Amino acid sequence: MTDNRKLEAAWTYHEATKHSHASIRANSHFLDWDNQPMPFKIYPTLEPLRLPGEVRQTGVAALSAIAEGVPAQTNAAPDLEAVAQLLYLSAGITRKRNYPGGEIYFRAAACTGALYEVELYLVCGDLANLPAGVYHFAPAEFGLRRLRAGDYRRFLLEATGGESAIAHAPLAIICTCTYWRNAWKYQDRTYRHFGWDNGTLLANLLAVGTALGLPARVVCGFVDASVNRLLDIEPRHEVAFSLVALGHVAALPPQSPAETPPLCLETVPLSRHEVDYPLMREMHAASSLDSAEEVETWRGQTPMTDFPPPAGPLVQLQPFSDSEIPRDPIEQVILRRGSSRQFARTPIGLAQLSTMLDRANRGLPADFLDPPGAQLNHLYLIVHAVEGLHPGAYVFHRSRGVLECLKQGNFRAQAGYLGLEQELPADAAADIFLLADLRLILQRFGNRGYRAVQLEAGILGGKLYLGAYAQRLGATGLTFYDDDVIRFFSPHAEGSGGRGQERQTQTLAICLTADSIRKLSCAGEGRAPDTVTVAAQQEE
């Protein structure tokens, strides 16, 4: 049994995994390239069902797809081609780089270190050209391997405590995270990355779902042991992290098969040996839910952080209207997205920044956000070169559609320091930081609130990525010195309460520029790849 309400687990993990000037220098960790984990999960005894390789042209503008959703009552079920589109544009291999040691393959969504620890599983009823079953998505072959035959949607419905979106979804996608694949580089901090990397993937998935006319809802509340058992994954190595309900049908799912016996399927080892980091496994266990009743209690109204009334100068956002936004469709934007690795010090327009902030923050369909439109994370900015904005530090008041200036000045040097003393945040036109009040979130949701807030932050970051590339800007995601970020934006970013600084940094800083000097090369755009092999990996 676990205890989601023993909040010291989340506080202990968060404090132990903060970055600081001292902690970075004291860490003697090095990358063991001879023991680098394989980037794919492979079931060698199961033949993959190859998915259709052509990308369906939706014609839906990316800036519309990231901002809008499809009503939950809309009757829509994906066919096999739509399933392939969803998988390819969220977790598929979209480009490659050639190196002397081989080829490196990059995926559709940004991921810390390009290590791709998120695996996707499908649970569906009978769809057009896809029989009911439980499937694993194999990006290397761009195919599906069927783990269980039959309709197990009722099993998921029970595991999610009767979640209505799951009840009427013809397809659910389960996102799992593999500890070692990311911990090989990032050690215990990997559990934060689970939320960030799962979130950027979901930003793509939700946008593509909208473009295909599919209602979608992110589900973070479920009985962990039940979902892990359905997929037959070993929780010491891989864990279910989030679910997404896709589509809507009127009929409830039939009874699932009576048994879910262990599958005992062989998988290829990720590397010669794995290094265990107990702290992140303990964090996941402490945030697990044990029963459908506990899941139902976990859901409910989202706590809202009360910002003080704006005291500094206000700048009204000036987003492009629907008729003015760039019309590049979501599939094209995803295929050209990459993480810029060098920035020119070129300004961007206020309308461009406004459009990104507006479109990325219009609400997220998730079971932990009630009422609709609620949000756990808050956006703070360091502006260096945005036409119409004085350089300085700002906070975004989402409900008012304004930026409040906290302090004016040239903070390029400070931004570079906050971003682990890198040039990217100093050279960017603007840096966006996502902060959240952990005290309120953990009091309301327990330790599982730590999952939810990291996941939401990753989705918001993913939307900001897409919003930048839809306007042909460059963007990248960075990590940071946790407490120094809070101090920089204080006193506004300080929490209230006895613990001290409660509004903790939650996700990557998103750095924006008018263009990137160095762009990722792209191969096979518009078509899923053939079977691939990976010789090495580097950061996106």
- pLDDT tens-digit series, residues 331-353: 999 999 877 777 888 899 999 99
Average pLDDT over residues 262-288: 96
pTM equals 0.93
Average pLDDT over residues 74-83: 95
Q: Do 404 and 284 fall within a single domain?
A: no
User: Which pairing describes strands 118-124 and 348-349: parallel, antiparallel, or unpaired?
Assistant: unpaired
Q: Do 275 and 375 fall within a single domain?
A: no
Q: Do 379 and 474 fall within a single domain?
A: yes
Q: How confident is the model at residue 521 (pLDDT cuts 50, 70, 90)?
A: very low
Q: How far apart are CA 249 and CA 74, in angstroms?
A: 8
Instruction: Please report, for the domain that includes residue 277, its CATH number.
Output: 3.40.109.10
Tally of domains within the chain: 2
Please indicate, yes or no, if residue 216 is contained in any of the structural domains. yes
User: Which pairing describes strands 386-387 and 348-349: parallel, antiparallel, or unpaired?
Assistant: parallel
Q: Which range is least confidently modeled, 21-30, 101-110, 398-407?
A: 101-110
Please indicate, yes or no, if residue 151 is contained in any of the structural domains. yes
Backbone φ, ψ for residue 36 (5° rounding): -65, 130
Cβ contact 474:430 at 8 Å:
no
Q: Do 265 and 123 fall within a single domain?
A: yes
Q: What's the residue count for the chain? A: 540
Given 235, 270, 298, which residue is the final one in a domain? Answer: 298
Q: Do 240 and 102 fall within a single domain?
A: yes
Average pLDDT over residues 159-168: 96
Q: Do 323 and 293 fall within a single domain?
A: no
User: What pLDDT does 505 receive?
Assistant: 52
Q: How far apart are CA 10 and CA 30, in angstroms?
A: 27
Q: Do 263 and 326 fall within a single domain?
A: no
Kindly give the residue spans of alpha helices, DSSP state H, lying in 236-367: 278-286, 292-298, 330-336, 350-360
Amino acid at the residue 114: A
Please indicate, yes or no, if residue 190 is contained in any of the structural domains. yes
Q: What is the dihedral of CA 77, 148, 268, 271, to 10 degrees?
A: 70
Please indicate, yes or no, if residue 161 is contained in any of the structural domains. yes
Q: How confident is the model at residue 105 (pLDDT cuts 50, 70, 90)?
A: confident
Amino acid at the residue 411: F
Please indicate, yes or no, if residue 443 is contained in any of the structural domains. yes
Backbone φ, ψ for residue 201 (5° rounding): -65, -45
Please indicate, yes or no, if residue 3 is contained in any of the structural domains. no
Q: Do 253 and 397 fall within a single domain?
A: no
Mean pLDDT taken over the chain: 89
Q: Do 264 and 400 fall within a single domain?
A: no
Is 238 strand, coil or helix? strand
Cβ contact 118:181 at 8 Å:
no
| Residue at token pair 């492979």 | 42
Q: How far apart are the first and last CA of the chain?
A: 39
More confident residue, 42 or 523: 42
Please indicate, yes or no, if residue 405 is contained in any of the structural domains. yes
Helix 448-470 crosses helix 350-360 at what angle (to 10 degrees)?
A: 140
Given 266, 298, 330, which residue is the final one in a domain? Answer: 298
Q: Which range is least confidently modeled, 143-152, 377-386, 473-482?
A: 473-482
pLDDT digits (tens, 9 = 90+) for 220-272: 999 999 999 999 999 999 999 999 999 999 999 999 998 899 999 999 999 99
User: What pLDDT does 304 receive?
Assistant: 73
How far CA 347 is from CA of 207, 387, 430, in Å, comes to: 28, 6, 9
Q: How far apart are CA 206 and CA 216, in angstroms?
A: 7
User: Which pairing describes strands 377-383 and 430-437: parallel, antiparallel, or unpaired?
Assistant: antiparallel
DSSP string, 428-457: SSEEEEEEEEHHHHHHHHTTHHHHHHHHHH
User: What pLDDT does 526 receive?
Assistant: 42
Q: Do 279 and 321 fall within a single domain?
A: no
Given 263, 298, 333, which residue is the final one in a domain? Answer: 298
Residue 531 confidence (pLDDT) above 80: no
How far CA 479 is from CA of 347, 393, 450, 476, in Å, comes to: 23, 18, 17, 10
Q: How far apart are CA 456 and CA 458, in angstroms?
A: 5
Q: Do 349 and 208 fall within a single domain?
A: no
Token readout for 55 is: 């990308």
How far CA 283 is from CA of 17, 70, 331, 535, in Å, comes to: 11, 34, 36, 32
Backbone φ, ψ for residue 481 (5° rounding): -85, 105
Q: Do 292 and 333 fall within a single domain?
A: no
Please indicate, yes or no, if residue 308 is contained in any of the structural domains. no
User: What pLDDT does 101 receive?
Assistant: 62
CA 297, 366, 294: angle at the middle one, nearest 5?
15
Backbone φ, ψ for residue 154 (5° rounding): -65, -35
Domain that holds residue 501: 314-513
